[in-house]
Structure 1
Amino acid sequence: MFTFSNSEISSLISLRIKRAFLQKARRLELRENVLLLSPGRYQEHLLFVKKGIIRCYYKGFQSEWIGWFAAEGDLAFSTESFLNGSPSTEYIETCTLVSLYQLTRQDCQDLLREFSDLNQVGIDTSFRRLENGINTGALIKQT
């Protein structure tokens, strides 16, 4: 089964929703440093991290900027690409061995229509990501 890292979000997810999710989701095991998304590409799957760490970063001017990290229980996706269908401006990559579930955009939309409680999970995830970015600032690494 899967659980969200945030207990408030996890409490919104019923056993019925978890079963529906697992029926639609595909489980993947990936090694370290697997590039899941790069600029100009489209993210077609929502990623749910079961184990391991994924990072989002940007490159430019001989530097890398970290956008966010996703660990066990977190969702990992490009907001612009997955939600808006725009080409990505970011990289998403595994940092460790990763076990994850992936859900297509269509399956995600179907679940959101069937289980309206899931909309709150998306809102909470977005606010948490925004808050973490504001509190920590961008991490920069010279390349």
Structure 2
Amino acid sequence: MELDQIIDNIYPLTTKSKDLIKASIIEVKFSKGHILFKANKIEKSIYFIKKGIARAYAYSDDNQITFWFGKEGDPIVSMQSYVNNQKGYEDVELLEDCELYELKMEQLQKLFLEDIHIANWGRKFAELEIIKSEKRLISLQFENATQRYLALLNNYPSLLQRVQLSHIASYLGITQISLSRIRANVK
């Protein structure tokens, strides 16, 4: 996904403001399996996925619990670092070779102070991430596993072809056996 579209999907900016953000962004590439974020570390950048897919997870005992998937156009951000400049709790793994747009937090904070349009863009960015988290929490509390699976398919139609079933089962909060049963019933 192109950078202009990603920026506009968050909040429309004036040409001047958009050019300021774009001048602060670099393109980077990482291989499948790369750990982009590590838990207990303050992240210094946010990323936007140009091409590829990623997952965020945290540990419970010795198990990795996947709680987020990102695809083309999605941001990769540690909200704890973005909002509070504190250590994040998540690891982020790239599930495919990825092309990303990187924006250093320090530069973004500087732009917030210099340009009210960019500050509003940053506020809107944070609000959208909060809404995504809220929807995920509500889904886990009020939907059964089949409903969560169907919603995942609706929001990420190609996910099953791109992600290991173990990660999908973890994201849904079920075992792989339960996921297999749900998939058989849905077909």
TM-score band, normalised by shorter chain: 0.7 to 0.9
From the superposition, tell whether residues 89 and 122 of structure 1 become closer, same or farther in structure 2 (CA, over 3 Å).
closer
Count of residues in correspondence between the two structures: 140
Partner of 2:146: none
TM-score, scaled to structure 1:
0.82
Give 5+ residue unaligned stretches, structure 1.
none
Structure holding more strand per residue: 1
What is the letter of the counterpart of residue 55 of structure 2? Answer: R
The amino acid that maps onto 1:117 is: N
Select 2:120's aligned residue among 117, 121, 125: 117
User: Deviation per CA, 1:1-39, whole angstroms, max 9, x where unpaired?
Assistant: 41239x7x3562444333222211121011101011112
Flag the 1:125–1:13 CA change in 2: closer, same or farther, 3 A: farther
User: What value does the CA root-mean-square deviation take over the aligned residues?
Assistant: 2.5
Percent same amino acid at aligned positions?
A: 18
Per chain length, whose mean CA-contact separation is higher, i.e. which structure has more relative contact order (CA < 8 Å, sep 6+)? 1
Q: TM-score, normalised by structure 2?
A: 0.65
**1:57-100 Cα deviation digits (max 9, x unpaired):** 01122321112111111111111133212222211111111111
- Counterparts of 1:1-143 in structure 2, within 5 Å, are 1-2=2-3, 3-4=5-6, 9-10=9-10, 12-113=12-113, 114=115, 115=117, 116-118=119-121, 119-136=123-140, 139=171, 140=173
* Bigger helix fraction: 2
Task: In structure 2, list runs of 5 or more residues that go unmatched.
Answer: 142-169, 176-187
